[in-house]
Chain A
C-alpha cells in the first residue's frame, strides 16, 4: 500500500530531558506520526530547525530557547514560520493543559488543527506520566532513606540506652507522634545527638 505522505506531520522534539524526549518520540511514532528529530536546546537550535523544516515543534517549557523559536517568524520572513500553538476556542483546553504540564507546541506550516491537537494531547499525557514517574521515584528514594535512618537510630538507641530493638522502634514512633515530627526528622535528631558521642 502506498502511504499518503500528505497525511504525515513531521515533528521535531526539543527537550532538555533526553529520556523524556525518547519516551514521547516513541509514543508519537506508535501513533503514526513521524518524529524526524529529537534536539537538545542550545544556540544552534534555530539553524537546525531551519534545515529540517518540520511541520511542528514540540518543546519543553523549561528550555529558555522557547523565546528563540518565537523569533523566527517575527524577525526573518525568509525562514519557515513556527508560531506558538494558538488559543482559539477549539484549542483552549489543550493549550491550558500543555502550560500546566510544561510543554508547548509550535506550528511551522499550515497543518490540520485536529492532528496538531492530537499530538499535543500525546505530549501532555507523556509529560505528565514522566513527571508522575519522577515523583514516584523521589518518593521511593525518600522512603528508603527514612528506613535506613530509622534503622541507624534504632541501633544507636540499643547501644546507648540499653534497650531492645523493639523498644527502640516504639520509642521512635512515640517521639514522632508526640513531637509531631516525621520519622525521618526524629531519626535524624537521634543520630545527630547519639552519633556524636561515638
Chain B
C-alpha cells in the first residue's frame, strides 16, 4: 500500500524535483503516491498547506518564515528540511527602459554589475522631468525576488520604498504586464525572464546569482504539526526529492527534464523557453549578444538542498530592513524552528550520504567555491 499525499506547487522550473520524483518513480520507490496540485497563487499554496488540504508544498522561502510569524494574515508554524535549490531569478526590464539605460552604458548586457548605477541615473532624470516612478513587479511581498531587488537597488542608494514603486504580479502574468506597460521591470523566476526576451518584450539585465551568489529560493514547506505526526512520510518524501535533484544534475537527463517541465499539467511553457532557462545564457536578442551565467540555477551542486540557517537569517534581516517586520524578537529562535538542518542531516545520513555538520555558513565573504569540512560550497558574494 502506498501512502497517499498531496503536494502543492507553483508552475516554475524550480519545482522540477517534484515532477521528476513523480515521473521517474522516486516517489513510488519510497512507497509514496503523490498527487501534485498546481496552484495559480502563492496565497492558495499557503492557505491549503496551513489548512491541511496539502501535506507539503513548494514554497517561497520567505513565505514560510512570514507564515510562521503570522505576517501574512495566517499564523501557523511551518518548517523546512529541504531546499529546492539555489538561484534561478533574474531582473528584466522593458525595451523602453533598456534603451534608456543603454544611453549610459552601451555594453550594459556585458556588465551586470553596472546595472544598478545606470538605473539610478535613469531614475534621477525621470525625477527631474517629473515623470512617474518606475514600477517594478515581484511575485509576492515575502519573496527572495523582493529582497534581491531591494538589495540590488540599495547597493547604489536607491530606496525600494521611496524611489520606485513595487507591486505584486503573478509570474504567469509578468510578461503580459511588461508588454502592456503596466510595469517597467520585474524580478521573477524562470521561465518568465527568458520568455519575455524570446517574445522581444523585455531584456534581462542581471540575474539573481549576480546580486547574491547562491541565494536560497524555494523550499519544501510542511506544518510543524504535520512533520511531527508524519515523520516517516516526511523522511521518505525528502529522500525521494533528493534523488530527483541528483537526477536533474546529470546532464544526460536534460532532454527528459525539459519534456517533463513543458507538459501541460506542469510548467506548460514552450520547450524552447524552458531549454534556454536551464542553459544559463542571458541574451540580448536585439544585439545578438549573450553572456554565460553557469550558476544561474543550481538544483543540486554545492549542497543546494541543504536548508542553511544562515539563509533564513538573511531573509529575516531583509524583512526587517524593508520594514515588513518590526519589534524585538529572537531571530535565532525563529531560524532554528523553521530551518531544520537536523532533520535533513538525519534523513541523508540514514542513506549513507554525508552532509555538513554545521547549520550555518558565513555569507558574503567568498568569491570562489571553497571546501568547508569536506564539502564543496559555492561562492556567496553579494553585489
Enumerate chain A interface residues (CB-CB to B < 8 A): 43-44, 46, 61-71, 74-76, 83-87, 95-96, 99-100, 104
Whether A64 contacts B41 in the complex (CB less than 8 A), given A71-B167, A86-B73, comes out as: yes
Q: A61-B41, A71-B141 are in contact. List 4 more A-B contacts (CB 8 A).
A: A43-B182, A61-B44, A71-B140, A75-B168
When distances are taken between beta carbons in the complex, the residues of chain B under 8 Å from A63 are 40-41
Flag B177-196 by CB within 8 Å of A: 1 or 0 each: 10010100000000000000
Which residues in chain B, 25-73, are within 8 Å of chain A measured between CB atoms? 40-44, 47-48, 50-51, 53, 72-73
Enumerate chain B interface residues (CB-CB to A < 8 A): 40-44, 47-48, 50-51, 53, 72-75, 139-142, 165-170, 172-173, 176-177, 180, 182, 324
Query: Shortest Cβ distance from B161 into chain A, in angstroms?
Result: 8
The residue on A at minimum CB distance from B182 is: A43
Whether A96 contacts B43 in the complex (CB less than 8 A), given A44-B182, A65-B170, A86-B73, comes out as: no
Output the residue of B44, B73, B74, B166 with the most chain A CB within 10 A: B73
Contact B73 A85 (CB under 8 A): yes
Contact B74 A86 (CB under 8 A): yes
Contact B173 A75 (CB under 8 A): no
Determine which of A65, A66, A69, A95 lies in contact with B51 in the assembled complex, contact meaning CB atoms within 8 Å: A95
Query: Shortest Cβ distance from A153 into chain B, in angstroms?
Result: 31
Query: Shortest Cβ distance from A178 into chain B, in angstroms?
Result: 30
Measured between alpha carbons, how far is A83 from B72 in the docked complex, in Å?
8
Contact B51 A68 (CB under 8 A): no
**23 residue pairs from A and B, CB less than 8 Å apart:** A43-B169, A43-B180, A44-B182, A61-B43, A61-B47, A65-B41, A66-B41, A66-B43, A68-B167, A68-B168, A68-B169, A70-B43, A71-B141, A71-B166, A71-B167, A74-B142, A75-B166, A75-B168, A84-B47, A86-B73, A87-B73, A87-B75, A99-B51
Contact B73 A67 (CB under 8 A): no
Contact A64 B170 (CB under 8 A): yes
Query: Shortest Cβ distance from A86 into chain B, in angstroms?
Result: 5
Determine which of B48, B140, B177 lies in contact with A67 in the assembled complex, contact meaning CB atoms within 8 Å: B140
When distances are taken between beta carbons in the complex, the residues of chain B under 8 Å from A104 are 43, 47
Measured between alpha carbons, how far is A88 from B199 in the docked complex, in Å?
46
Measured between alpha carbons, how far is A120 from B93 in the docked complex, in Å?
40
When distances are taken between beta carbons in the complex, the residues of chain B under 8 Å from A69 are 43
Determine which of B40, B44, B74, B168 lies in contact with A87 in the assembled complex, contact meaning CB atoms within 8 Å: B74
Measured between alpha carbons, how far is A175 from B139 in the docked complex, in Å?
54
The residue on B at minimum CB distance from A46 is: B167
Output the residue of A69, A71, A104 with the most chain B CB within 10 A: A71
When distances are taken between beta carbons in the complex, the residues of chain A under 8 Å from B180 are 43
Contact A74 B170 (CB under 8 A): no
When distances are taken between beta carbons in the complex, the residues of chain B under 8 Å from A71 are 140-141, 166-168
Determine which of A43, A44, A65, A84 lies in contact with B72 in the assembled complex, contact meaning CB atoms within 8 Å: A84
The 6 closest A-B pairs by CB, nearest first: A71-B168, A84-B73, A64-B170, A74-B141, A64-B40, A66-B41
When distances are taken between beta carbons in the complex, the residues of chain B under 8 Å from A46 are 167
Query: Shortest Cβ distance from B70 into chain A, in angstroms?
Result: 9
Measured between alpha carbons, how far is A63 from B173 in the docked complex, in Å?
11
